[in-house]
Amino acid sequence: MSADDNRVVVTGLGATTPLGGDVASTWSAMLAGRSGVKALTDDWAKDLPSRIAGVAAADPVEIVGRVQARRMDRCEQFALVAAREAWADAGQPEVDPERLGVSVTSGIGGIGSTLAAYDTLKEKGWQRISPFTVPMLMPNGSAGWISIELGAQAGAHSAVSACASGAEAVGYGIDMIRSGRADVVVAGGTEAAIMALNMGAFAVMRALSSRNDEPERASRPFDKGRDGFVLGEGAGMLVLESAAHAAARGARVYAVAAGAGYSSDGYHIAHPHPEGAGVILAMKRALADAGVSPDQIVHVNAHATSTPEGDVAEAQAIMTALGPAAERVVVSSTKSMTGHLLGGAGAVESVAAILALHEKTAPPTINLEDPDDGVKVDVATEPRPLRPGGREPMAVLNNAFGFGGHNVSLVFTAP
Amino acid sequence: MALTEQEILAGLAEIIDEIAGVPADEVTPDKNFVDDLDIDSLSMVEIAVAAQDKFGVEIPDDQLKDLKTVQDVITYVHKNAS
């Protein structure tokens, strides 16, 4: 990787998920095919039709510290934990603060703090609300906190597109470096929405699995028995860096963040387009942006959330977007293990897709016992070695789609 | 029975530890909240509300802005506590 290389590379990874408090524990749990979904025993959950969730494995308060944690929403705490890990993993790069950016977001924002503040407002009056309520509820709060921790001055941004948010933030981070606004960007997504209002709101849309008796088997993307997604929480984070900057400091490079593709369905506020038109467009645009041909793609970390409609539409869209090359592609949905992290999903799954490429192993999709007839792609049910099938370097796709009809597809290539 | 200045200091130190993470033994009367204890205006609002609850005094905003040191709060509470 030469100093005049204008590509964007990934030099650091961070994650805190239902499977583990860091990248290593999350990745090893994925390879072991372990589920992070558990029964919710809280009182607030007892009347809900879905009483299962992927609660974060590690309490962020212990890592962030008691005093800072009381000024931060749980989703901001997750983001900071993952950002610290990614930054350390990248070797704490020496970078001009004016060339260091942040692109971190959430699908919903600090909903837990919003609800708690509203309870306080009703019970004790406005004077008793925390003066940190606004910074806790705003969806750009995580980007703000990370920029403060790192002293980043190139800009801190928060693209919001529901469950596509985390992937869109990664795409925006790539753009910041490509457009010359930054040399290094911390990019990712976070969510902490396991609470009665959100679970009730998704349940009333009939979007959640109610397989309450078998939490670990509830998230089953592509399976005939799937009955909705399982809510998860946590954050994923990447350190993106210009290839020249990374080369100059001799950084370890996981992958090239080669390109991003975006589209909007322009169809329905919550239902996916039945033929996946927007999804196909996003994948094709990502390939074009990355300068990658379909036969370079060896693996897709699918958005597949375990809902009846979305999984099949995506599987068919992958076939259409990649054409004949789709036959050799290994597809995984790591949501089968983590649940759906909403705004954190696209970022955690970018981490998983990058590690799959780096380790040349696709993680499994658990609970896929009886594939839906509409699913013609090759979905891995065990860890699967990834080998180049066509042109090199090998490349992977990560899909993320959100309510509102937002579609984001990211391409990472081997360095 | 009114609180002594020493009791007010101890109570205030407890609040400041809880809200701002400043160890109680660093909260001495001469300390300035902003310059010495690194407490920003948002945390100061929280501390004032907690002090009102703990000591049963009202601290209006136009009074709060003049409470710059730990001793200022102690004096104010001592004078105004019912």
Q: Which residues of B touch A127 (CB under 8 A)?
A: 49
What pTM was estimated for this model as a whole?
Answer: 0.96
Work out the average pLDDT over A361-380.
Answer: 97
CB atoms within 10 A of CB A57: 17
Under CATH, which number does the domain A261-413 receive? 3.40.47.10
User: Distances in Å between the alpha carbon of B13 and those of A121, A400, B19, B55?
Assistant: 27, 49, 10, 13
> CATH 3.40.47.10 occupies which residues in chain A?
8-248, 261-413
Residue type, A298: V
A163 is catalytic: yes
Band (B2; pLDDT cuts 50, 70, 90): confident
* List A163, A245, A358, A406, catalytic entry: A163
Q: CA–CA separation, A105 vs A328, rounded Å?
A: 34
Largest CA distance in chain B: 34
How far does B11 lie from chain A, in Å, by closest CA? 18
**Largest separation between any pair of C-alpha atoms in chain A:** 65
- What pLDDT does residue A390 have? 80
- Encoded tokens for A4: 């005049």
pLDDT tier for residue A275 given thresholds of 50, 70 and 90: confident
When the pLDDT of each residue in chain B is averaged and rounded to a whole number, the result is: 93
pLDDT score, position B82: 63
d(CA A348, CA A224): 25
- Interface membership of A70 toward B (CB under 8 Å): yes
Q: How confident is the model at residue A104 (pLDDT cuts 50, 70, 90)?
A: very high
For residues A386-401, average pLDDT: 94
Strands, DSSP E only, in A17-63? 38-39, 52-53
- Put simply, the answer to whether B21 touches A66 (Cβ < 8 Å) is yes
pLDDT tens-digit profile of A178-193? 999 999 999 999 999 9
Average pLDDT for residues A163-172, to the nearest whole number? 98
**Average pLDDT score over residue span A151-173:** 98
Confidence tier at B71 by pLDDT (50, 70, 90): very high
Which DSSP symbol is given to A180? Answer: T
Q: Is B24 on the interface with A (CB under 8 A)?
A: no
Confidence check: pLDDT of A133 > 60: yes
A303 catalytically annotated = yes
pLDDT at residue number A175: 98
Percent of chain B residues past pLDDT 90, beyond the cut: 90
In chain A, pLDDT over 70 holds for what percent of residues? 99
Cα dist. A14→A93, A307, A399 in Å?
A: 15, 28, 19
Q: Does domain B5-80 have CATH number 3.40.50.300?
A: no
SS3 annotation, A125-149: CHHHCCCCHHHHHCCCHHHHHHHHH
Instruction: Say if residue A274's pLDDT is above 90.
Output: no
Query: Which CATH architecture describes the domain A8-248?
Result: 3-Layer(aba) Sandwich (3.40)
- Does A271 qualify as catalytic in the annotation? no
Tokens found for residue A76: 């901001």
Spot the catalytic one: A157, A340, A358, A406. A340
Indicate the pLDDT class of residue A5, thresholds 50, 70 and 90.
confident
